A and B are shown apart, each in its own frame.
Chain A
């Protein structure tokens, strides 16, 4: 069974631009969670999608948004990029989410210049 895939793996943007990241979960998994990882803050929860609905949201500004499609694939979007948005963005999938075992993708390394 294929693992969680994320595209692109690396991305360089400039301040003020916007970016869209993609995540394909493990087949059969309906929950996709997104995390931001930085050296200073560690792994922080962004939001979780289940059956095309945002079920939980972390403490991030509205510039961070996401969506999930009927095939469970998910995208997250960051608008008006800031230097502090430079991070490794990880998605994780699980069957039903909310405390179940989750499996991470390799991440997208975003650099904002």
Chain B
């Protein structure tokens, strides 16, 4: 069974601070996605990474896929209250369905 762990589970920071959240597994994935989910809504896809060592940037968000394709990180620079939400990572291998991590709940205080 493929499992994904995310850390930290909860994170509360002040506006303007930087942060990094992690997604780890003992399994290799062919692709990994990051989502942000707000209360009462479905997850919104932020990025998909498919190549070991790949780095993708989305404005103030930087995503990295580990060289071995077992882990990933999400770094947010100068966090804003609008970044508040549940950040989920999900891994998949071709022909299989996604496995989701438990999420990191981020709160950015003004």
Interface residues of A (CB under 8 A from B): 4, 6, 33, 35, 42-45, 48, 56, 58, 88, 90, 92, 97-99, 101-107, 109
Contact = CB atoms under 8 A, between A and B. Distances in A.
Would you call the interface of chain B mostly helix, strand, loop, or mixed? Answer: loop
Given A105-B42, A106-B42, A109-B40, A99 B101 contact: no
B87 to A, nearest CB: 12
B102 interface: yes
Given A99-B93, A102-B98, A42 B41 contact: no
Contacts of A105: 42
Interface residues of B, number: 25
B72 interface: no
A99 B48 contact: no
A5 B96 CA distance: 24
B88 A43 contact: yes
Contact of B94 (A43, A90, A99, A101): A99
A90 B43 contact: yes
A71 to B, nearest CB: 21
B45 A106 contact: no
A68 B52 CA distance: 35
B73 interface: no
B30 interface: yes
Contacts of B48: 101
Contacts of B103: 42
